[in-house]
Copies of this chain bind each other. A is one copy, B any other.
Amino acid sequence: MSKVASPEDNLLIAALPQEARQRLVPNLELVNFPLGKVLYESGDTVKHVYFPTDCIVSLLYMMSNGASAEISVVGKEGIVGVAVFMGGESTTSRAIVQSAGTAFRLPRQQLKDEFNRHSEFLNLMLRYTQSLITQMAQTAVCNRHHSIDQQLCRWLLLSLDRLPSDELIMTQELIANMLGVRREGVTEAAGKLDRLGVIQYKRGHIRVLDRVKLERLSCECYAVVKEECDRLLPTPLDSVYVG
């Protein structure tokens, strides 16, 4: 800790082949982060990527009501700002220093230059992957903070967007597996939606009758994922069945 930080203290940089590392190192800038420093906010364009050497950065998801959950943590083994090479440029999480220390910083463009050889196919795949990552992060948050009722709404909407009709063929048992809750919890939540006229449940068949109401009953997590998918992917998920 007392010696001066070297780029190779970051395990990713240390693992680069000589030649790539030599191209990169001259562009790295040593930076010192205090506890609580925000590297970027949710939605910010990532201007630099950071290779921590002896600090820890949390990827925190902030909900609109102020509640939060850590999605992931990055230290000397990693890099902060994967959105740059995933292609999305920004993420839905905040990066905040959880343990003060140093990192090396690299301007976004210089990282992208290193990736010039991408085929368009690869770019597309990476962008899709980022949308998937968003979905995972949101799932983690949703698991922590939202009720079964809200999660069921979110889940129905996500599934609906990915299907060509307004009917799902799905037992409550299976939905419970997906959400990681008891089947009885799903029965109760689905019963409420049925009574509200939002869905119609018939032994393994769910028909969505009022999509707008479903969206109102859902937690914010659906909208976040939807918007991020629309932003990242070339073809928006059609939301045809709007009641």
User: Which residues from 79 to 118 on chain A have a C-beta closer than 8 Å to any C-beta of chain B?
Assistant: 79, 82, 85-86, 98-100, 114-115, 117-118
If A98-B170, A136-B140, A169-B99 touch, does A180 touch B237 (CB 8 Å cutoff)?
A: no
Q: Kindly report which residue of chain B lies nearest to residue A56, judged by CB atoms.
A: B162
In the bound complex, residues from chain B placing their C-beta under 8 Å from that of A24 are 121
User: Which residues from 188 to 243 on chain A have a C-beta closer than 8 Å to any C-beta of chain B?
Assistant: 229, 233-235, 237
The answer on a CB contact under 8 Å between B70 and A139 is yes
Query: Is the CB of A11 closer than 8 A to any CB of chain B?
Result: yes
Q: Which of B67, B100, B136 contacts A71 (CB 8 A)?
A: B136
Query: Is the CB of A15 closer than 8 A to any CB of chain B?
Result: yes
If A98-B170, A136-B137, A140-B139 touch, does A77 touch B178 (CB 8 Å cutoff)?
A: no
User: Which residues from 27 to 78 on chain A have a C-beta closer than 8 Å to any C-beta of chain B?
Assistant: 35, 52, 54, 56, 58, 60, 67-78
A14-26 to B contact mask, C-beta < 8 Å, 1/0:
1111001000100
The answer on a CB contact under 8 Å between B135 and A73 is yes
Q: Kindly report which residue of chain B lies nearest to residue A132, judged by CB atoms.
A: B72
The docked-state distance in angstroms from the alpha carbon of A17 to that of B123 is: 12
A142-178 to B contact mask, C-beta < 8 Å, 1/0:
0111000000000100110111110011100010011
The answer on a CB contact under 8 Å between A128 and B179 is no
What's the nearest-Cβ distance from chain B to residue A85, in Å? Answer: 6
The answer on a CB contact under 8 Å between B234 and A15 is yes
The answer on a CB contact under 8 Å between B169 and A128 is no
If A129-B82, A229-B77 touch, does A12 touch B135 (CB 8 Å cutoff)?
A: no
In the bound complex, residues from chain B placing their C-beta under 8 Å from that of A20 are 119-121
Residues of A within 8 A of B (CB): 1, 11-12, 14-17, 20, 24, 35, 52, 54, 56, 58, 60, 67-79, 82, 85-86, 98-100, 114-115, 117-122, 124-125, 128-129, 131-133, 135-137, 139-141, 143-145, 155, 158-159, 161-165, 168-170, 174, 177-181, 229, 233-235, 237
Other A-B pairs, 6, CB within 8 Å; known A79-B128, A98-B170, A115-B122:
A16-B124, A70-B180, A76-B164, A98-B178, A99-B159, A117-B117
